[in-house]
Structures are given as structure tokens and as C-alpha cells.
Amino acid sequence: MGEQVTESARTRAETIPHGPHRSVKQAPLATNPSIQQRSLPAPRRRYVLMTVIVVLTVGLAATWSLVAQRELATAIAHTRVDELARVKVAFEAARARTHASLKAHCQMLAEDPRLKATLATENMNAETVDDILADLSKLRGGGVFMVLTPEGRVFAESGAKELRGLDLSASSVVKRAEAQSTAAVGAWVLGGKAMDLSIMAIRYGESLIAYLVVGQAITDADLKELGAQCDCDVATSLGGKVEAASTSDEAMRSALERLAAEATPTSGRIVAVAGADYAASSFELGDVTQSHRLVAASALAAEHGPFARLTWVMWIPPLLVLLAVLFALSANRSPRRKT
């Protein structure tokens, strides 16, 4: 019995290490759940990185495309506004041709033998002169014809009944016609419309016996031709109201009427009417006592039409960048090792 106890003690003594090199078996450390959650598996980290890169690339691409589209829209608007300045030049050139035509017709028709003989007759009949003027109007193809007395009062007319008896002696065009041997040209407001006209003094010997007036109003057809030439819509306004326009489109007419009603003419700006943007300009003509303007406008939505494909092309560079990034990430993926 004593030998067994001694042997057991010896065995325990041999199993317990002695001295500084003895090692004590330590209990395993407690696991920290929070630390394990912070470290993601490698595949998941890769997917998160790819998602972040894709989102950033798409965001930058969208920003770049929007900025490019805005710059394009601004450039188109400024270019269109600058081009509207040509409208006034084209209008004045067309009007100069009209004045030249009116002057030539007035000088020729003033020498009509039937008209001149009738006007030289004492106690001439206004109805007879009206018939002659109607025939001259047909010969010319339309327009307003009037005969004024030497004092400047409307004696006979064709196409302007409301003007009969009107005193026009104070007109500067009448005064110029009296002072010169050729026809004078100018503009009047007759019947609520601005009208280009030419006046020729008719003389019998040295005596002034009458004035012949040949007039032509600015019509929608004239402005439609001008609008086609300048690739925009135009109108003329008198006293803040549109009197003739190149278009019957309600939205465009609203834009033109808004410009015509403004207190002062404005050159080269963008106006918004009913949710649509227009490049617009208005010019004071200064040919009559009332405010007489030329108004021009162009819908910017129509100007963007030819660039619709270019809008999609703007997305190509950022999409190529995105594909390159995805390809690079796919190529750098390390294959999983087999255990």
C-alpha cells in the first residue's frame, strides 16, 4: 500500500514541469462577435468594391452627360439669338424693294391718260375717279389707291372707303411729294394698319391738280416668306398688338404677342411661354408715329431636334469607361484555391 502511494506521487512529480521552462496550458480566448462581423469574406468585399465603383462611374457619367447637354442647349440658344438679328436686315431689304416697286407704279400710273384727263376736268365726279382707281388696282394686282385734292384731303379711293374725306395734308410724305418731281415713299397708319405707300403729285402744266397715292399693307403672306427665308416666325405689331404674322400656331402667336406688348423692344433673349422656351428679338421700325415693331421668335425645342442623336452619343464615353472598369476588376480576380 505504501509503495503504491509513493509510486503515484513519483508519477505526478515527473509530469509536472519544473523550472522556468514549464508551460501552462492556457484556456482559449473568448471569441468577439463584433470583430468577426467587421471582417467580410473576400468574395463579398470584392462585390462591395465593384458596386461602389459602378455607382461612382454611373454618377460621374450622368453628371458629365447632363453638363454636356446643358452646354449644348446654351450654345444653340445663343447661336439662334444671334441669327435673329438677320431678320431685321432681311425685312428692311424686302421693304426697300416694296418701296421701289410702289414708286415705279405710282409714277407710271400718274401718267395714265384717262386719270389725268378726268382730274383736269372741272367739277369732276368722285365716283368716276373711284372707277378709274379700281381699274388701276386690278392692273397692279391689288393694293390701296387714293386721289387727294391739292389741299391733301382724300377725294376718291379704291380699297379704303373709311378714309374718304380724311385730311392728310400734315403728312411729311405729302409735303415731300409736293416739293419734288418724282414720287415720294413712306408709311402711314390707315384703318388701324401700317401701310407702305408712294405719293406722286399730278400737275396740269404748272398747276398742282391732285395727288395719286398707291399703298400696300404688310400682309401675313409677306411675313411668311420672310420667316421661311430666316428660318423663324415673324410678326409686325402696331401699338403693342400683332397686326400680321407668319404663323397661325397658337403657342407661337402667344410668344409673338407677348413680345409685341412689352414696353420696350428687346433684342436677343430667351422667353418662356406656356412651358416652352423661345429665342426672341423685337425691333422698333420708327416709320410711323405709333409704336411699329418687327418681332421674331424661334422655338428652341425645334432647334434641338437635329441634335437628338448627339444626346445619346454623349453617353458612349462614360459607358466605355464603365465597361473598362468592370473588365479590369474581372481580370484581377484571383481564382479560389482548392483545399
Better-predicted residue by pLDDT, 52 or 239: 239
Give mean pLDDT, residues 303-329.
Answer: 63
245 and 260 in contact (C-beta within 8 Å)? no
pLDDT at 1 exceeding the cut of 60: no
pLDDT digits (tens, 9 = 90+) for 202-228: 998 889 999 999 999 999 999 999 999
Give mean pLDDT, residues 216-244.
Answer: 92
Give the pLDDT score at 311: 60
Better-predicted residue by pLDDT, 74 or 275: 275
Give the pLDDT score at 302: 53
For residue 189, tell me if it sits in a domain.
yes
Whether 198 and 97 share a structural domain: yes
Whether 97 and 206 share a structural domain: yes
Whether 245 and 211 share a structural domain: no
Using the 3D structure, point to which of 158, 182, 217 is the last residue of a domain.
217
Give the pLDDT score at 93: 94
The 10 Å Cβ neighbour count of residue 237 is 26
Using the 3D structure, point to which of 161, 192, 217 is the last residue of a domain.
217
Whether 178 and 202 share a structural domain: yes
For residue 313, tell me if it sits in a domain.
yes
For residue 23, tell me if it sits in a domain.
no
Question: pLDDT averaged over the chain?
Answer: 79
Cα–Cα distance between 283 and 86 in angstroms, integer? 11
For residue 204, tell me if it sits in a domain.
yes
Tally the C-alpha atoms within 13 A of residue 220's C-alpha that lie toward its C-beta.
8
For residue 37, tell me if it sits in a domain.
no
Cell numbers of 272, please? 418662356
- CATH code, domain with 288: 3.30.450
Whether 176 and 247 share a structural domain: no
Q: Per mean pLDDT, which of 15-24, 43-52, 227-236, 303-312 is the most reliable?
A: 227-236
Q: In three state form, how does the secondary structure of 216-274 look?
A: EECCHHHHHHHHHHHCCEEEEEECCEEEEECCCCHHHHHHHHHHHHCCCCCCCEEEEEC
Domain housing 210: 90-217
Give the pLDDT score at 314: 61
- CATH code, domain with 209: 3.30.450.20
Better-predicted residue by pLDDT, 302 or 68: 68
Cell numbers of 205, please? 402744266
Whether 106 and 199 share a structural domain: yes
Whether 103 and 170 share a structural domain: yes
For residue 28, tell me if it sits in a domain.
no
pLDDT at 13 exceeding the cut of 50: no
Give mean pLDDT, residues 50-54.
Answer: 73
Q: How many domains does the chain have?
A: 2
111 and 200 in contact (C-beta within 8 Å)? no
Cell numbers of 248, please? 397661325
pLDDT at 323 exceeding the cut of 80: no
Helix-then-strand count for the chain, H and E: 12, 10
Whether 152 and 192 share a structural domain: yes
Give the pLDDT score at 30: 47
Using the 3D structure, point to which of 163, 189, 217 is the last residue of a domain.
217
pLDDT tier at 284 (50, 70, 90 boundaries)? very high
φ, ψ (nearest 5 deg) of residue 288: -130, 170
Q: In what order do the strands lie in the sheet with 154-158?
A: 154-158, 144-148, 207-217, 193-204, 184-190
Whether 172 and 146 share a structural domain: yes
Whether 250 and 320 share a structural domain: yes
Cα–Cα distance between 212 and 5 in angstroms, integer? 156
φ, ψ (nearest 5 deg) of residue 140: -80, -25
Whether 206 and 278 share a structural domain: no
